[in-house]
Every structure is written in structure tokens, then in C-alpha cells.
Amino acid sequence: MASTSFSMYKASFAPKLVDSNKLLPRPYSQLLTSSVHLTHSCSLLPNGKSLKFQNLAIRNRFQCHALETREPPLFSLGNKFQLNDVIEAQQFDRDILSAIFGVAREMEKIEKNSPGSQILKGYLMATLFYEPSTRTRLSFESAMKRLGGEVLTTENAREFSSAAKGETLEDSIRTVEGYSDIIVMRHFESGAAKRAAATAGIPIINAGDGPGQHPSQWKHFRFWKDETNGCKPQALENVMSRGHTMNCLVGLVVVCLQQDRCDVMALLDIYTIEREIGKLDGINVALVGDLANGRTVRSLAYLLAKYENVKIYFVSPDVVKMKDDIKNYLTSAGVEWEESTDLLEVASKCDVVYQTRIQKERFGERIDLYEEARGKYIVNKDVLKAMQKHAVVMHPLPRLDEITVDVDDDPRAAYFRQAKNGLYIRMALLKLLLVGW
């Protein structure tokens, strides 16, 4: 049978029509591989990449057209995980998210059918929590134990560890890594997880850092009044520099500036949407409640931008609206978003209604503002009636009264399944960081 040769060049792959059994000229400065002889199949693996071709036989000739180029599989069984630590949502692209979700589905099977799994036998996980979070800590500890590993834990390292004596985070990490194989850390300072990862020689998983009490992340606001604008919050240094007459000082409020990263635990939210809706492209998502202070909604919005034809609706009281940084990011990523005050109308259009609680702890002494925001948007039976049959209600928990308890029995109430999915995602991350794919 006649065979055809062609060459691969760095600049491009140009389909050529060549006589059989003749080689193309080979400019060695550009050539990636030697000429390859093709017969029936025009599929080859130059430099580890897979190229697919459409071939056309013309007497003793072949005309090959390059259709697509694919990298070799990176997620094969036994390969090392691509990340050394899991710190922020920005580390993940669609391919790695999809692969992690595949592992999470395997973890679900293990949890249900193989309670004696020994995948992580001999490994020790340290949970180093500088602020309390019982649900997150127990979920990680359950994940480790269900895979045969062991756990070293501290419930409040901020008060009951050498940190209370003034030990630096870096020294604490260097000490704890000597006792364990992986550290799961939750910290009150934004950026603490990244500092820990830079220090440790073992994997670090960020279970939440900030938006806490680091001096560089907080500003003090006083409510001031001038003759034209009335009372409003303004940074104290700005008030003083502008020379405003402060006729009313109605108390000190501490406002946390938004952190510059996203909570990686939004992975479980994306995973839940895929499991519940069956897809991540072409969906409408309503983010409801405290959009200014919640890590989960900011992170979820960031990750949703990785998918096609997604539309996000923001429904919140004015005092806790989504910050401009996320809205600007979505716009730059080509994601359509819309702000609305009509929860019923939005719920009728969406595949996911993601409710969050109004975070009282973020309002300081301005309880009046908290009370004004609380209860404005509640998911109840009326919202369920407006929703589509396939749509779901999600919530990062804990909830207060922003979802009424009579919603719990509706099959579209996905928030407890969402919490369970967190177990599978954490099992997957522990497995991948410690033993690979």
C-alpha cells in the first residue's frame, strides 16, 4: 500500500498534498519530529500530543487535514496530582475540576459500599483550626477516617496552642508538619493559607482564611453628617482629610475589606450543581442574601465563569450587595449577570437558587442595618411554587430563617445533600494530594 510522509513545524501544521513515498523537506530549525509514514490512519503522537486527521485518498496520495490537537491525559491512574496544595479556587480549570469530580464520584461509591477502605492507611492529617468551624472540621476528619487515615486535631488553635503565646504561623506549621502528612487549616487572617503553603513541605488545604481580623484588612468607619449629604458611613481618615463637620457620630462600625481570593470549598457547590442539574454549561443561577460578606457566593460566581452560557442573578438587600470586583470579573469573562429585587421572578428563571444567611457578625454595632436586611428575601413555599420542577435550592449552612423549615421536605431542597457532597469532595482532595490519581 502506498504511504505518505509529512512533517510537523512549530509555527503551524499546514496540510499538504504530497506524492507517496517521498519526504517533505526538513528544515531542522523548525522541525518537531522526523517525517512520519501514514497508511490508512492519519493519527499520530508527536511530542506526546495527540493529533486527529481527516484523510482523503486520491490515487496514490493522501491529503491530511488537522482537526484538533490534544494534550496527553494528565489524570491517568497512578499519576501525581497537579497541585501541591489546595489554597484557592483560582488554581482550577474546567479539566481539573471535571477530573476531581470524577474522583469524588468514586469516593461516594467507597463511602456507601466499602466502609473499610484503606486507601490512606498510614497517613496522618492534622486539622489546624484557628477559628471554630465544627461542620468543616468534622467533614474533613470523617473524610480522612473513611479512607483509612488517622487524624490529629485541635478545635481552636488560636486560644489553645502556642499561638496564644505569640508563636508565628510559620513556626507552628513547621512544627505540625513534623507530626503529620497533610494539614487542613482554617485561619482568621486572609492570606494565612498561602503563607502556610509557602512554609510547609507537606500539602496544605485551605479550609477558609479570612475575612478576619488582620489589621491591614480592616478599616474603622464612623457615621458622619454634613449639611448636604446627611449621615453616611465614611472612612474616618477620609472624613478628617476632607474637613467635614461631623455633627453626628453614631458609633463605631468595623467593616472587613473583601479578600483577594476565593474559598476553595466552592468546589463542593459546583459539584452539587452538576450532580443535581446534570450540567454546568447553559444554566441560570440566583445568588441570594448576603453577597457582600459570604465567601461561598463570591467563590461560586468565580467558578461559574469557567463554564459556557451561564447567567447569574444577584438578589440581595442594598447593604450587602455583591461587590464590584466580582461583577467586573464576570463582565471581563463574558458572563451575563443581572441584579434584581424580585426573588419570585428570578426563581422562576433559574436552575439553582443559592440562598445565604445575612451575617450578623459583619454589622458590628449597627444592628438596625442587620435587622433591615434580615428577612427581606426568604425562600418559602411561594418561592418553590415559582421555581421550575428540575431546579434546586442550595445553602452553604448554617441557616437561620432565610429558608423556612417547610421547604426541607421538597425534593428540590438540596442543601443537606450539598453538605454530604462536601464529604466526597474532601475525600477526593485528600486522596489526590496524598497518593495521586
- For the annotated catalytic residues, the residue numbers are 135-136, 165, 186, 214
Report how far apart the first and last C-alpha atoms of the chain are (Å, whole number): 42
What does the alpha-carbon distance between residue 429 and residue 143 come to, in Å, rounded to a whole number?
Answer: 10
**Which triple of cell numbers denotes residue 174?**
513547621
Give the span between the Cα atoms of 269 and 365, in whole angstroms.
32
CA distance 97 to 281: 14
- What cell does 364 get? 458590628
- Residue 24 is given by DSSP the state P
Alpha helices in 114-249 (DSSP H): 134-146, 169-176, 192-199, 236-242
Beta partners for residue 338, in sequence order: 313
Angle at which helix 266-277 crosses helix 415-435, to 10 degrees, equals: 120
Strand pairing of 36-38 and 4-6?
Answer: antiparallel
Cα 161 from Cα 151, distance rounded (Å): 17
Element at 206 (helix H, strand E): strand 204-209
Q: Residue 56 contacts by C-beta under 8 Å, 6 or more apart in sequence?
A: 62, 63, 65
| Furthest C-alpha separation in the chain | 95
Nine cell digits for residue 233: 458611613
Cell readout for 49 is: 500530543
* Residue keyed to cell 443581572: 338
CB 387 within 8 A of CB 230: no
Category of 308 on φ-ψ map: left (φ > 0), alpha (ψ -120 to 50) or beta? beta
205: left (phi over 0), alpha (psi -120 to 50) or beta: beta
Long-range contacts of 242-246 (CB under 8 A, 24+ apart): 246/222
CA 214 to the chain's CA centroid: 23
